[in-house]
Amino acid sequence: MYCGDIYYAKSWYVENRKMIPNNIQIGEDGNKFRLSWVGPINALGYLVCCARDPEFTVECRCFFVPCVGAGGVSLDMGRGGWFFRVGTLVGNLNYRGRIVWSNIYGPYSNESARGRPPPPHGSNVISLIHTRAIPSGIRTYISYDRSAYIAIFECSRSPDLRASDTQWTFHIDTVRRGSVDCLHMEHPHRYYVRCVGMDGAEFPSDRIVPLGTGIQFQGVPEKPVKHFDTATQSLHRADQAILRRNENERNITFLSHADYVRYQAARARAGLESVRRV
């Protein structure tokens, strides 16, 4: 079991490392910032996030960039210093995936942009109807008036959704299910979520799309339901029968040593204290 956990963690780390954008170059292009990078061949697209602080909580702006944009994009960020990071959208076009982030770069400032304000946020293309807790997650019911959408989720235990404690995933809904599950949560922790929508009818897009401020909510996932296999269920029923048969006996007698061992084993599996044989 332990070796298996180590192998899984190592495999997950190696797989994610392959998806991280690298060779990121940031420079000035007039009054704009010019960014370029090298990404994996199977990327569905990229997110470029810019903010005033390295936790990406102050004046954060995010842009969806198509794969062709990895060769170079110019962003008009206005005055002041900015931190940057680039994330790869990795997953399945039919359903869901994750966003794997690069290192954080900055702060960078562009003297040519002096006096210019930061760019506005994009439009919020989805709205929240309601949410409900599900085992290991939160189900989000979304209103959207077009044929398909992409929901990008930021999920964290920190109310400010700081970069160091936030996981990013995306979900593509092309059949208008109306609900999206944000998973991999642990009961009884409270999670804070921001969901940003993007038109998915023409995805993958060839345009750079500024993302909106999104919708925010919070919740506590339900406790996961444990499913027993047939052998486990049979053993559990046998234990219960043994314990019920003897639960009202002041002095328990056993016909054989095997009966005594079975009784002690049933108590141990039930989490009860063992009894001494007299």
Name the fold adopted by 121-205+212-225: Immunoglobulin-like (2.60.40)
Instruction: Report the alpha-carbon distance of residue 128 to residue 149 in Å, rounded.
Output: 13
* φ and ψ at residue 189, rounded to 5 degrees: -70, 150
Strand partners, 167: 155
Residue 6 has pLDDT above 50, yes or no: no
Instruction: Report the alpha-carbon distance of residue 22 to residue 18 in Å, rounded.
Output: 10
Fold agreement between 1-87+102-119 and 121-205+212-225: yes
> 141-156: per-residue pLDDT in tens?
988 877 788 899 999 9
Domain boundaries of the chain, sorted by first residue: 1-87+102-119, 121-205+212-225, 230-269
Higher-pLDDT residue of 14, 146: 146
Count of positions (residues) in the chain: 278
Q: Which CATH number fits domain 1-87+102-119: 2.60.40, 2.60.120, 1.20.58, 1.20.120?
A: 2.60.40
> 212-227: per-residue pLDDT in tens?
999 999 999 998 776 6
Give the pLDDT confidence score for residue 277 in this predicted structure: 44
Higher-pLDDT residue of 278, 176: 176
Instruction: Give the residue among 142, 151, 143, 127 at the shortest CA–CA distance from 200.
Output: 151
